[in-house]
Amino acid sequence: MPDTEEIINLTQKYLIPTYNRQAVVFERGQGCRLWDTEGRKYLDFVSGLGVNSLGYGYPSVVKAIQEQAEKLLHVSNLFTISQQARLAQMIVRQAFSGKMFFCNSGAEANEAAIKLARIYARKERGIEQGEIITAYRSFHGRTMATLTATGQEKVQKGFEPLLSGFRHVPFNDLAAVREAANDATIAVMIEPIQGEGGVHVGTIEYLAGLRDFCTRQGILLILDEVQTGIGRTGRFFCHQHADLEPDIVSMAKALGSGVPIGAILARDEVARAFVPGSHATTFGGNPLSCAAGIATVSAIVEDGILENCQKAGNHLSEGIKGLQRKYPFIKEVRGKGLLWGMELDRDGSRIVRTCLEKGLIINCTMGNVLRFLPPLVISREEIDEGLAVLDAVLSQADNVSQ
């Protein structure tokens, strides 16, 4: 058994501290459970920040990764990759007609979306210095372009000068988008649900209004579904709740069930703006990651995962709304499917740590919003178990928050 203290000491000595890491070292997982190196068991309500949507050890995904690893891990994108073509076909069938570009992460996917929007506007509209409208509280990544697109000053601070060409407006405010748009506007880039920004849900009217506005203005609608895509909200993509199609949608996190992969899907007309040499990736869309993606998408579509997400999501929603009625310091609960936030009138970090001590993994974002995004395979019984732990911790919130 690994020496937990030694691993923590090595981490502190040799890794750049870009995270405030918990002193827990996980060794294995199964379903919605994780075990650490000390043998303690945890119930996971975070699923690796939305990556492990099928939980741990999902049989068809494990089998696909094992079989592909024995055959071929990687070839460059200078060659035709059958797994990449098959995965693209599967995603298009679940979304809308268009073409895909595969990469390694959500930030890289959003970076590709931004570059595609700019080169499309330059070729089709002759706009040299195009602007993209994004929302306050948004989170699109930590590369220079995506952190500039992100509407959170804390993410940008210290990395100035930022890139030009981004304008931020309040979320869920269609009038603000209309007011901010001008002749230089080339796109609106929005998350259907702001996950990292505190789980704020874009209304159906807002999303549909954006689609209509962008169409009438001849500008692109880019939807960042890195966190909400691949089944998280009970539909394959969250924007399908609003019965609309974006011009570009980005995805990552759940797509590979833990194997790094990101992607964009763009309408054919827009996708044509990229030609050989416009954009590239070395590792993106290699046979291993795409094999994991194929197994993941197959499971989401064929194994009743979306149906479970809807039912389990309703059960989780009822449970946390019940806690809101019980504890006045819970200001608001909001979310969709199996992505929910619980806004507190106080700091949530100690509640997160206390839950971890009691074997429940939850997350806090924006300082005071507890975020729940469990695996989509979670059962009613596991949700009840997690909520019971949370209830017990919240009942002592005045103590744990001091």
* Token pair belonging to 80: 């035709």
Query: Pick the catalytic residue: 96, 237, 253, 336?
Result: 253
Asked about 139 being catalytic, the answer comes back as yes
Query: Pick the catalytic residue: 224, 236, 247, 372?
Result: 224
DSSP annotation string for 242-264:
GT---SEEEE-GGGGTTS--EEE
* Dist CA 352 CA 343 (whole Å): 13
3-state SS, one letter per residue, for 44-66: ECCHHHHCCCCCECCHHHHHHHH
* Dist CA 190 CA 137 (whole Å): 11
Of 290, 293, 255, 294, the closest CA to residue 84 belongs to: 290
Residues linked to residue 266 through DSSP beta bridges, in sequence order: 99, 248
* Dist CA 278 CA 115 (whole Å): 9
Is residue 187 within 8 A of residue 222, CB to CB? The reply is: yes
Is residue 305 within 8 A of residue 231, CB to CB? The reply is: yes
Distances in whole angstroms, Cα of residue 151 to Cα of each of 37, 169, 244, 332: 38, 8, 24, 22
Is residue 128 within 8 A of residue 160, CB to CB? The reply is: no
Asked about 63 being catalytic, the answer comes back as no
Query: Pick the catalytic residue: 45, 96, 101, 139?
Result: 139
Asked about 253 being catalytic, the answer comes back as yes
What are the residue numbers of the active site?
Answer: 139, 224, 253
